């Protein structure tokens, strides 16, 4: 063994254990040692905007650890997905000064960026006003506020997201439809491959990169499967704290996109990217823990369901239709929510019934949970979790009654959800109790953004219009 290798081994043996953390440190002093140990040159200071897109700043690691002040314009969190801004009205007022918001790094999220050539790390930041007050309308803070509302009642929500997405051919011209990619067999991927191991194996090298990138960042994948759609995959995450899981989904989306680009294809989280193929969901499993006892409040000592279990479902049934715009945030989202499909258009619940909006999976009593099957994968994970948990919390606080469970097919007759974006925004604006829990500034800002996005969509002429109206009307 050469002296150099011996020195390296000796240095590692003398290093504090926290520098081996794949994700997160406790203090700025620890952060400096963690970055130095890895030879990190650059830091991405990022935060999710209303769409869940990473916004922020990049800087040298030496500047990051020198108590540098970070800021973003408040307008970042008032922009539409296309980069426009909403008009004032319905309670929303665009700030005249467009002042800065301070970025506060959450060092528990510090991790490497494995796809960068130069040694790079990333850290997720929260936003505060210049005087230190929490910014109410930023997505991570919205979720934190909902979790805090549970905490005041001595409760702790536990969630587990499942994220579906498509792999597709690169499509630089948006006028052309998306098509499935070619796998290692040399053929384009077909549909109907649900749970197919061969379907997963078509993309072995890409999936290996997803796993490697995830492991480097301390992101824990529970399972990965091929879904029903052509080139559609699903990743399930281990259950845990809502904020930590939202952070993981936020980082997973970046990771999956980067891994796909490395293999010259796109990964998309559009709710309905390919006509005639199934949509992509972000199912959310939810249970609530009593912080004093550590017990699941959905289960009584004899293993039966509690009143709180039914109240939680009652809150979901009554308020999720009003919160739909946070679970299905774009015009395209509603193409997924159609009758006689696996994506529900009802607000029913049932035991292990996948045609209902709220499914109670088969499990041991201690693991009893409610799966919200409505959210699409295009939703901002912070806002989807905040909306779903807020609806359940309203049910718990108001002791709302749930309907009887459905034991038959629930998705063929009644439509209980808004059928389009504007209808969803209208219902969202009318639910004052939901707005109070999420934050009224957030509610007015978010509604204004969604209305502006709809108006932008209306400026585009679709192929359907050209095909059926051009020569016939």
- Cβ atoms of 358 and 373 closer than 8 Å: yes
37 pLDDT higher than 50? yes
Is the pLDDT at 85 greater than 60? The verdict is: yes
Residue 206 is predicted with a pLDDT of 93
Q: Buried (b) or exposed (e) across 151-168, using 16+ Cβ within 10 A?
A: eeeebbbbbbbbbbbbbb
% residues pLDDT > 90 (the chain): 81
User: Phi and psi of 453, rounded to 5°?
Assistant: -65, -35
Q: In the predicted model, is pLDDT for residue 68 greater than 80?
A: no
Look at residues 443, 419, 437 and name the one whose alpha carbon lies nearest to residue 315.
437
d(C-alpha 430, C-alpha 322), whole Å: 8
The closest of 110, 74, 117, 121 to 93, measured between CA atoms, is: 74
Is 2's pLDDT higher than 70?
no
User: pLDDT band for position 411 (50/70/90)?
Assistant: confident
* Interval 452-459 mean pLDDT: 96
Say what the pLDDT of residue 237 is: 92
How far apart, in Å, are the Cα atoms of 438 and each of 147, 262, 273, 351, 428? 10, 38, 30, 29, 11
3-state secondary structure of 162: strand
Look at residue 423 and tell me whether its pLDDT is greater than 50. yes
User: How far apart (Å, rounded) are the C-alpha atoms in residues 276 and 315?
Assistant: 33
Q: Where are the beta strands (DSSP E) in 106-147?
A: 111-112, 120-128
Res 194: pLDDT: 73
Whether 365 and 420 have beta carbons less than 8 Å apart is answered as no
CA-CA distances (angstroms) from residue 1 to 7, 10, 11, 15, 344? 10, 13, 15, 21, 62
Q: What is the mean pLDDT of residues 55-72?
A: 90
Look up the pTM and report it: 0.94
For the stretch 268-292, pLDDT in tens is: 999 999 999 999 999 999 999 999 9
pLDDT at position 100, please?
A: 93
* pLDDT over 60 (residue 10): no
Tokens 């790079």 map to which residue? 120
Give the CB-side neighbour count of residue 16, counting CA atoms within 13 A: 12
> Given a cut of 70, is residue 9 above it in pLDDT?
no
- Beta-carbon contacts of residue 258 (< 8 Å; ≥ 6 apart): 115, 213
Query: Does the pLDDT value for residue 188 go beyond 70?
Result: yes
pLDDT confidence band for 1 (50 / 70 / 90): very low
pLDDT tens string 371-394: 999 999 999 999 999 999 999 999
Distance CA 179, CA 177 (A): 6
Instruction: Kindly report the backbone phi and psi dihedral angles of residue 223, in degrees, each rounded to the nearest multiple of 5, phi listed first.
Output: -145, 160
The C-alpha torsion from 176 through 180 and 186 to 191, rounded to 10°, is -140
- Judge whether residue 195 has pLDDT over 90: no
Q: Compute the Cα dihedral for 282, 51, 416, 404 and give only its sign.
A: positive
| Distance (Å, whole) CA 348 – CA 21 | 43
Q: Give me the mean pLDDT over the 389-405 stretch.
A: 98
Over the stretch 92-131, which tens digit does the pLDDT of each residue have?
888 777 789 999 999 999 999 999 999 999 999 999 999 9
Please state the rounded mean pLDDT for residues 172-185: 88
- Provide the 8-state DSSP code for 420: S
Using CA atoms, how far apart are residues 380 and 70, in angstroms rounded to an integer?
23
The reported pLDDT for the residue numbered 16 is: 83
Span 432-454, average pLDDT: 97
Rounded mean pLDDT, 438-445: 96
Contact indicator for 442, 145 with CB cutoff of 8 Å: no
Instruction: List CB contacts of 393: < 8 A, sequence separation 6 or more.
Output: 146, 149, 150, 315, 437
CA dist 122 → 12, 110, 112, 125, 184 (Å): 23, 6, 6, 10, 33
Cβ-count burial 42-63 (b if 16+ within 10 Å, e if not): bbbbbbbbbbbbebbbeeebee
Most confident of 12-21, 178-187, 199-208, 448-457: 448-457
Q: What is the pLDDT of residue 14?
A: 62
């Amino acid at each position: 063994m050469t002296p150099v290798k011996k020195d390296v081994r000796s240095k590692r043996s003398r290093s504090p254990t926290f520098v081996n953390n794949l994700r997160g440190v406790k203090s700025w002093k620890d952060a400096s040692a963690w970055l130095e140990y890895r030879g990190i040159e650059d830091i991405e200071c990022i935060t999710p905007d209303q769409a869940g897109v990473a916004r922020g700043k990049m800087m040298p690691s030496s500047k990051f650890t020198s108590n540098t002040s970070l800021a973003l314009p408040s307008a970042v969190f008032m922009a539409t997905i296309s980069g426009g801004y909403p008009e004032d009205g319905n309670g929303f007022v665009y700030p005249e000064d467009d002042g800065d918001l301070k970025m506060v790094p959450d060092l528990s999220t510090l991790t490497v960026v494995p796809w960068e050539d130069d040694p790079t790390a990333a850290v997720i930041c929260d936003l505060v006003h210049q005087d230190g007050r929490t910014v109410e309308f930023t997505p991570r803070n919205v979720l934190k506020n909902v979790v805090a509302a549970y905490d005041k009642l001595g409760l702790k929500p536990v969630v587990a997201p499942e994220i579906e997405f498509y792999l597709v051919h690169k499509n630089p011209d948006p006028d052309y439809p998306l098509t499935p990619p070619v796998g290692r067999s040399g053929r384009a991927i077909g549909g109907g491959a649900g749970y197919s191991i061969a379907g997963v194996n078509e993309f072995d090298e890409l999936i290996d990169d997803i796993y490697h990138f995830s492991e480097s960042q301390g992101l824990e994948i529970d399972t990965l499967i091929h879904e029903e759609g052509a080139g559609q995959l699903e990743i399930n995450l281990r259950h845990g704290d809502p904020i930590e899981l939202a952070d993981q989904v936020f980082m997973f989306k970046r990771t999956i996109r980067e891994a796909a680009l490395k293999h010259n294809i796109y990964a998309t989280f559009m709710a309905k990217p390919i006509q005639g193929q199934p949509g992509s969901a972000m199912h959310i499993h939810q249970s609530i823990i009593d912080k004093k006892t550590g017990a699941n409040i959905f289960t009584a000592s004899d293993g039966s369901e509690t009143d709180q279990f039914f109240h939680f479902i009652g809150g979901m049934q009554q308020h999720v239709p009003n919160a739909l715009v946070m679970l299905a945030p774009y015009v395209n989202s509603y193409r997924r929510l159609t009758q006689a499909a696996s994506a529900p258009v009802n607000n029913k619940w049932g035991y292990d019934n996948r045609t209902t909006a709220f499914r109670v999976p088969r499990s041991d009593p201690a693991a009893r949970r409610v799966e919200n099957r409505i959210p699409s994968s295009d939703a901002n994970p912070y806002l989807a979790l905040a909306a779903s948990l807020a609806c359940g919390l309203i049910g718990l606080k108001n002791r709302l009654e749930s309907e009887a469970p459905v034991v038959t097919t629930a998705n063929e007759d009644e439509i209980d959800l808004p059928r389009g974006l504007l209808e969803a925004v209208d219902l969202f604006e009318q639910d004052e109790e939901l707005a109070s829990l999420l934050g009224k500034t957030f509610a007015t800002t978010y509604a204004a953004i969604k209305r502006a996005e709809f108006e932008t969509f209306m400026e585009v002429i679709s192929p359907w219009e050209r095909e059926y109206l051009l020569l016939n009307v």
